[in-house]
Amino acid sequence: MDFTQFLLASGDLGEDGCDVFVTCFTQFEKEVPEGHRAIGRLVEQAFQVGDFSGKSGERILFYPESGQVDGIRAKRIAVFGIGRIEAGTTAAEIREMMRKLGGGIAGLAEKAKASRIMVRLPVLDRIDGGQTAECLVEGLALGDYRFVKYKKPDPEEKAYPGLREVILVSDSAESLVRRGMARGENAAKAACLARDMANEPANKWTAEDFALLGRSLAGKYAMKCRVMDQKDMKRLGMGGILAVNQGSSEPPRLVILEYKAQQKKQTLLLVGKGLTFDSGGLSLKPAAGMEDMKYDMCGGAAVLAFMQAVGIERPDLNIIAMIPATDNMSGSSAVKPGDVISHYGGISSEIVNTDAEGRLILADALAYGIKKYRPDCVIDLATLTGAAIVGLGHHYTCLLSNNDTLVNRLVQAGERSGEPLWRLPLGKDYSQQIDSRVADIKNVGGKGAGTITAAAYLEKFVGKTIWAHLDIAGTAWDFTEKSYIPKGPSGVGVRTLLELVRDWQKIDGSPD
């Protein structure tokens, strides 16, 4: 399916008709705000009978008698409620209201099988026309997402291919609105790419597929792709990823994308867990829900999809993306509980539970990436622990870090993109939980604090580099359902990272 075209209206709206014309209102108390003509009078009627007052989630539909109202030719007029904006409502919250509005409009478009819609942008306090356009487009594009690749089309009904054209109508400065639209579209496209990867079943999305996509991105944008295979990993002593791959018949890959702004700029290293299927290995997972473990590559998907957005926006810093990719299977040569392995750089590890495999593949990538690229800052994304869901449910991503500045920036980026993060502590008491009798460390931390002890494992491999770990186990799928977040994979992380690198400010210092 081709992606929706987002356009900005110029001039006469009466020329070409549309399937739906959308306008919206923030919540009002006594009467419809002035300045709305025929549509305003219809809204007034709806208000009088108690059907509409601009509350979030409210929506009314009209069918213009002559196919035209207020000089607009449309089959339907839809009026959406935005919700209440109060004195204390933050810009980030208003941005989120716009995304939800976009998702709601996409939902209506699907019901109406609309292909061409027009949306009049509201004028809001605290966010400008650019941000309004950005978040609305983002919500529309994210909400219009569907994954139907493996479904036979229903012979009775024509399948809805999604929105073809969205025309925005705005009174704000054109350049501002266009810039916002481009940002929103770019962010949503990348997040949808991450969802696409995650939706692919494990028999269709393997480590090699990460490599293929990495190479294709490098072909399209100004970035280089390197792919390491098992031989390279053996030569470099990447015992973690090799151990996890031992029980599999599918070869492992370490995919690296290098985007260079300028040599003298700061370098950000990203590492995403690309575990294409997590059976648990010999420490086999229970059958119920195991199918969801095809999503265990969502960290890798987010990092790779983010690089597509980077390729288009070209932010002002160097970015290295690494995806260690393999599945975790229990074939006859699988790694066994009790085995001792050695990571890149020489730290030895006792494998107590083969299901704690994510940290093993991330450790090699982190250690190698830091040694090779000397980044100023490292962020890893991983569906690392079920304990993240126990702790924060499906609403917040767990954030663990050795640097307060980076934490603040990530939390802010998360707020502005509607992907909230919550920090958990690190420290020596937790690190001690992964002390081993036979090796330098072991891969599980015993009872309690599973998300933290997993991060403590990674911490051993980042040394003095500024680092943050995002445990997206709770948010990568089953994320808080919203109009623009469907069931299934959410694409979480992509938009947070993008928000973080836009207008990147130098970060320095050492771990706190």
Binding site for Mn ion (CB under 5 A): 278, 355, 357
In single-letter form, the type of residue at position 442 comes to: K
Looking only at residues 288 through 327 of this chain, which bind ligand BES when binding is defined by CB under 6 A?
296
Distance CA 60, CA 431 (A): 56
From candidates 238, 261, 303, 473, binder to ligand BES by CB under 6 A: 473
Binds 493, which of Zn ion, Mn ion, ligand BES, none (CB < 5 to 8 A, cut-off by type)?
Answer: none
Which residue is nearest to Zn ion, using beta carbons? 278
Q: What is the 3-state secondary structure (H, E, C) of 457-481?
A: HHHCCCCCCEEEEEECCCCCECCCC
Distance CA 204, CA 193 (A): 15
Catalytic residue among 116, 146, 183, 359: 359
Calculate helix-pair angle for 298-313, 207-220, nearest 10 degrees: 0
Determine whether 285 is an active site residue.
yes
CB of 342 to Mn ion, least distance (A): 20
CB of 304 to Zn ion, least distance (A): 17
- Find the part of the chain contacting ligand BES (CB under 6 A) among 40-48, 339-347, 348-356, 489-497: 348-356
DSSP β-ladder status, 377-382 and 267-272: parallel
- Find the part of the chain contacting ligand BES (CB under 6 A) among 198-206, 261-269, 365-373, 377-385: 377-385
Q: Binding residues for Zn ion, per CB under 5 A?
A: 275, 278, 296, 358
Binds 385, which of ligand BES, Zn ion, Mn ion, none (CB < 5 to 8 A, cut-off by type)?
Answer: ligand BES
Looking only at residues 173 through 212 of this chain, which bind ligand BES when binding is defined by CB under 6 A?
none
Q: Which residues contact 291 (CB under 8 A, 6 or more apart)?
A: none
Distance CA 289, CA 440 (A): 34
386 near ligand BES (CB under 6 A) = yes
Tokens 């478009």, located at residue: 109
Q: Quick one: tokens of 19?
A: 């399937």
Radius of gyration of the chain (CA): 24
CB of 198 to Zn ion, least distance (A): 14
CB of 21 to ligand BES, least distance (A): 42
From candidates 356, 361, 399, 424, binder to ligand BES by CB under 6 A: 356
Binds 251, which of Mn ion, ligand BES, Zn ion, none (CB < 5 to 8 A, cut-off by type)?
Answer: none
CB of 306 to ligand BES, least distance (A): 20
CB of 240 to ligand BES, least distance (A): 13
Binds 452, which of Mn ion, Zn ion, ligand BES, none (CB < 5 to 8 A, cut-off by type)?
Answer: none
Binds 414, which of ligand BES, Zn ion, Mn ion, none (CB < 5 to 8 A, cut-off by type)?
Answer: none
Check: CB of residue 214 under 8 Å from CB of residue 257: yes
From candidates 206, 383, 431, 465, binder to ligand BES by CB under 6 A: 383
Q: What is the 3-state secondary structure (H, E, C) of 483-505?
A: CCECCCECCCCHHHHHHHHCCCC
Catalytic residue among 178, 215, 285, 482: 285
Q: Quick one: tokens of 167?
A: 């025309």
Q: Which residues contact 432 (CB under 8 A, 6 or more apart)?
A: none
Residue 405: exposed, middle, or buried by beta-carbon count in 10 A (0-12, 13-18, 19+)?
middle
Report H helices in 117-171: 129-143
Determine whether 84 is an active site residue.
no
- In the complex, which residues of this chain contact ligand BES (CB under 6 A)? 278, 296, 353, 355-358, 383-387, 444, 450, 473
Which positions are catalytic?
A: 285, 359
